[in-house]
Amino acid sequence: MRHIRPLRAEDIPDLVALRRRAFTRSQRSDAEMGTYFEQVFLQNPWRDEKTPSLVYAGEDGRPVGFLGVVPRPASFHGEPIRIAVGTQFMVHPDHRGVAGLQLLKEFLSGGQDLSLADLANDASHRLWERLGGRTARIPSLQWTLAFMRVPRPVRVPLRFLLRLVWPRWRPPKGIRRGPLTPKLLTQQLPQLLQSVILRPEYDARSAAWIFDQLVTKRGLGEIRSAVLWDTAGVEVLGWYVYYADAERMGRVVHFVARPGARDLVLQDLFANAWSEGLAAITGRLEAGLLRHAGRSGLTCRREGPWMLMQSSRPEILEAVDRGDAFLSGLEGEGLLSF
């Protein structure tokens, strides 16, 4: 009899085989995929039996469908809430239709306050909206800043000359820089986000786990990060985290700034990416970046995945819609995928 049940450790070999059938272009080895499923869905620091990853079992009890679920603690107006991130949604080609619909319906009816998927394709988008989910329109857009493209032989000397005579991508003065660490993230993020009513909550263990995921996602490129302090080194102004890949493209996965310091942190981000020789840098659009887009030369468009959400509490959805929620790449599917 077909039914939905929580993921079990003994399901992992079948999930690896299922992923091979559902995503035929996967280049990971079976061992790598097995380790991934175990670490992300059975060993993540927020694992909760009330919000399990879901398996759709076939007649023989083996998985023919899967929806990975990672719960994330957050706060809303200071009240503890639970976000559930859905990822790795897949169904065997011979069982598509009912299995996918039932898996998503089971996920959305869970006990979480907010259901989230931020790497959803068009098919998932249609299925979510059919079941009462909705699109987070601003975070479904991407901003991009393209730097000057120059031939490789003259790139280094020309960039050096432009930094001398053109101040646009010069790093800001009067600040100190340092590395972002799990301890800093845990201690400083609540202060930087004190004006945001929906924000993630980290402790030492979960912050360390997130950093481990950041450095192991080598397929995304080399990780770059910086924390900006005031001149005295007392107050954190903000920080950023991005990947720089072999194609000279940068992808921001985390950006946060104290109110009034956003321009300064953006300037340092762009100066860092420019000095590294990136052709462009991109990131998820936030409501707080809208007023900076024009003067910073950002282009904004929807290309790629959707951010989808569902909640029985309209006030939570409204907070996301108006940009009063902090949901970066660290809180979504980006670090929960290959």
Residue 236 has pLDDT above 50, yes or no: yes
Residue reference for tokens 């999930």: 15
Residue 118 has pLDDT above 50, yes or no: yes
Residue 56 has pLDDT above 60, yes or no: yes
Instruction: List helix spans (H) across the chain.
Output: 12-22, 30-37, 98-108, 122-130, 152-165, 182-192, 204-216, 262-275, 290-296, 314-321
Residues 290 and 156 in one domain: yes
Per-residue pLDDT reduced to its tens digit, 259-283: 889 989 999 999 999 999 999 999 9
d(CA 181, CA 187): 10
Decide: helix, strand or coil at residue 223.
strand
Residues 130 and 35 in one domain: yes
Q: How high is the pLDDT of residue 199?
A: 97
Q: Is residue 328 part of a domain?
A: no
Mean pLDDT of all residues in 235-254: 95
Q: How high is the pLDDT of residue 64?
A: 94
Q: How high is the pLDDT of residue 168?
A: 62
Q: Is residue 312 part of a domain?
A: no
Q: Is residue 170 part of a domain?
A: yes
Domain end among 135, 151, 170: 135
Q: How high is the pLDDT of residue 161?
A: 47
Mean pLDDT of all residues in 222-247: 94
Q: How far apart are the first and last CA of the chain?
A: 32
How many Cα atoms are found within 13 Å in the side-chain-facing hemisphere of 285? Answer: 27
Residues 11 and 86 in one domain: yes
Residue 316 has pLDDT above 70, yes or no: yes
Query: Residue 50's pLDDT band (boundaries 50, 70, 90)?
Result: very high
Mean pLDDT of all residues in 122-138: 92
Tokens at residue 294, please? Answer: 């024009």
Domain end among 83, 100, 135: 135
Which element (helix H / strand E) includes 97?
none
Per-residue pLDDT reduced to its tens digit, 133-155: 999 988 999 999 998 654 555 44
Mean pLDDT of all residues in 111-129: 93
Q: How high is the pLDDT of residue 162?
A: 47
Domain residues for the domain of 186 are 142-304
Strands 175-178, 222-230: pairing is antiparallel
Bridge partner residues of 283 (DSSP):
143
Residue reference for tokens 């020789």: 277
Residue 303 has pLDDT above 90, yes or no: no
Residue 289 has pLDDT above 90, yes or no: no
Residues 174 and 291 in one domain: yes
Domain end among 100, 135, 170: 135
- Percent share of the chain, pLDDT over 70: 91
Strands 134-135, 175-178: pairing is unpaired
Q: How high is the pLDDT of residue 260?
A: 87
Tokens at residue 74, please? Answer: 């957050």
Nearest to 129 by CA among 315, 303, 308: 308
Q: Is residue 338 part of a domain?
A: no
Residues 60 and 156 in one domain: no
Q: Is residue 187 part of a domain?
A: yes
Residues 216 and 100 in one domain: no
Q: Which residues, including other chains, have CB under 8 Å from residue 259's CB and lie 6 or more apart?
A: 195
Average pLDDT in the chain: 89
CATH number where 156 lies: 3.40.630.30
Mean pLDDT of all residues in 178-196: 95
Residue ranges of E strands in 46-129 = 54-57, 63-76, 79-91, 114-120
Residue 164 has pLDDT above 60, yes or no: no
d(CA 264, CA 43): 38
Residue 25 has pLDDT above 80, yes or no: no
Q: Is residue 262 part of a domain?
A: yes
Q: Is residue 336 part of a domain?
A: no
Residues 152 and 211 in one domain: yes
Mean pLDDT of all residues in 70-82: 97
Residues 77 and 150 in one domain: no
What is the pTM assigned to this prediction? 0.89
Residues 22 and 66 in one domain: yes
Residues 111 and 167 in one domain: no
Q: Is residue 323 part of a domain?
A: no
Q: What is the number of domains present in the chain?
A: 2
d(CA 274, CA 127): 40
How many Cα atoms are found within 13 Å in the side-chain-facing hemisphere of 189? Answer: 25
Q: Bigger pLDDT: 45 or 94?
A: 45
Residues 300 and 179 in one domain: yes
Residues 130 and 171 in one domain: no
